[in-house]
Structure 1
Amino acid sequence: MNDHVLQSNQLTKKFKGAFALDKVNLSIRKGSIYGFIGQNGAGKSTLIRIAAGLAFPTDGHIELFGAGGELELVQARKRIGSIIENPALFPNMTAAENLEANRILRGIPGKECIGRTLALVGLQDTGRKKAKNFSLGMKQRLGLGIALLSDPEFLILDEPTNGLDPMGVVEMRELLVRLNRERGITILISSHILSEVYLLATHYGIIHHGRLLEQLTAQELKGKCQQYIHIKSDNPDKASAVIQNGLKTSDFEVMPDGSIKLYGKIERPGEISALLVSSGLMLEQFMPMGEDLESYFTKRIGGISHV
Structure 2
Amino acid sequence: MHEYVLQTNLLSKKFKGQTALDKVNLSIRKGSIYGFIGQNGAGKSTLIRIVTGLAFPTEGTIELFGASEDQALIQARKRIGSMIESPALFPHMTASENLEANRILRGIPGKDSVPRMLEQVGLQNAGRKKAKNFSLGMKQRLGLAIALLGDPEFLILDEPTNGLDPMGVVEMRQLLKRLNQELGITILISSHILSELHLMASHYGIIHRGQLLEQLTAKQLDEQCQHYVLIEVDNPDKAAAVIQNELGTTDFEVMQDGAIKLYGRLERPGKVSSALFSAGLEIEKFMPMGEDLESYFTKRIGGHAHV
TM-score by length of 2: 0.98
| More displaced stretch, 242-251 vs 83-92 | 242-251
- SS of the aligned residue for 2:242 comes to helix
| More displaced stretch, 87-96 vs 230-239 | 230-239
Give, in whole Å, the separation in 2 of the partners of 1:255 and 1:43.
35
Q: Corresponding residue for 2:2?
A: 2
CA deviation after TM superposition for structure 1 residue 222, in Å:
1.2
Deviations, residues 175-224 of structure 1 (Å, cap 9, x unaligned): 10010011100000011111100111111111111111111111111111
Q: Corresponding residue for 2:173?
A: 173
Give, in whole Å, the separation in 1 of the partners of 2:259 and 2:111.
61
CA deviation after TM superposition for structure 1 residue 46, in Å:
0.8
Q: Corresponding residue for 2:297?
A: 297
CA deviation after TM superposition for structure 1 residue 154, in Å:
0.2
CA deviation after TM superposition for structure 1 residue 20, in Å:
1.1
Give, in whole Å, the separation in 2 of the partners of 1:143 and 1:301.
32
Query: Which residues in structure 2 correspond to 1:92-103 (within 5 Å)?
Result: 92-103=92-103
Give, in whole Å, the separation in 1 of the partners of 2:247 and 2:163.
47
CA deviation after TM superposition for structure 1 residue 255, in Å:
2.4
Question: Letter of the aligned partner of 2:40 in structure 1?
Answer: N
Question: Letter of the aligned partner of 1:157 in structure 2?
Answer: L
Number of equivalent positions: 307
- SS of the aligned residue for 2:50 comes to helix
Give, in whole Å, the separation in 2 of the partners of 1:256 and 1:79.
53
Give, in whole Å, the separation in 2 of the partners of 1:282 and 1:303.
35
Query: Which residues in structure 2 correspond to 1:72-221 (within 5 Å)?
Result: 72-221=72-221
Q: Corresponding residue for 1:53?
A: 53
Question: Letter of the aligned partner of 1:50 in structure 2?
Answer: I
Deviations, residues 123-167 of structure 1 (Å, cap 9, x unaligned): 011111011111110000000000001100000001100110011
Distance 1:125 1:196, change over 3 A: same
Give, in whole Å, the separation in 2 of the partners of 1:45 and 1:272.
48
CA deviation after TM superposition for structure 1 residue 238, in Å:
2.2
Give, in whole Å, the separation in 2 of the partners of 1:244 and 1:302.
29
- SS of the aligned residue for 1:197 comes to helix
CA deviation after TM superposition for structure 1 residue 2, in Å:
1.8
For structure 2, the residue ranges without an aligned partner over 5 or more in a row are none
Question: Letter of the aligned partner of 2:153 in structure 1?
Answer: E
CA deviation after TM superposition for structure 1 residue 225, in Å:
1.2
| More displaced stretch, 155-164 vs 219-228 | 219-228
CA deviation after TM superposition for structure 1 residue 304, in Å:
2.0
CA deviation after TM superposition for structure 1 residue 14, in Å:
1.2
CA deviation after TM superposition for structure 1 residue 256, in Å:
3.0
Give, in whole Å, the separation in 2 of the partners of 1:106 and 1:83.
15
Give, in whole Å, the separation in 2 of the partners of 1:26 and 1:298.
20
Give, in whole Å, the separation in 1 of the partners of 2:110 and 2:137.
27
CA deviation after TM superposition for structure 1 residue 261, in Å:
1.2
Question: Please, what is the CA RMSD of the aligned residues?
Answer: 1.0
Percent of pairs with identical residues? 77
TM-score by length of 1: 0.98
Deviations, residues 215-268 of structure 1 (Å, cap 9, x unaligned): 111111111112210111122222222222222222112223221111112211
- SS of the aligned residue for 1:67 comes to coil
CA deviation after TM superposition for structure 1 residue 17, in Å:
1.9
Query: Which residues in structure 2 correspond to 1:58-77 (within 5 Å)?
Result: 58-77=58-77
CA deviation after TM superposition for structure 1 residue 106, in Å:
0.3
Give, in whole Å, the separation in 1 of the partners of 2:20 and 2:189.
19
CA deviation after TM superposition for structure 1 residue 51, in Å:
0.5
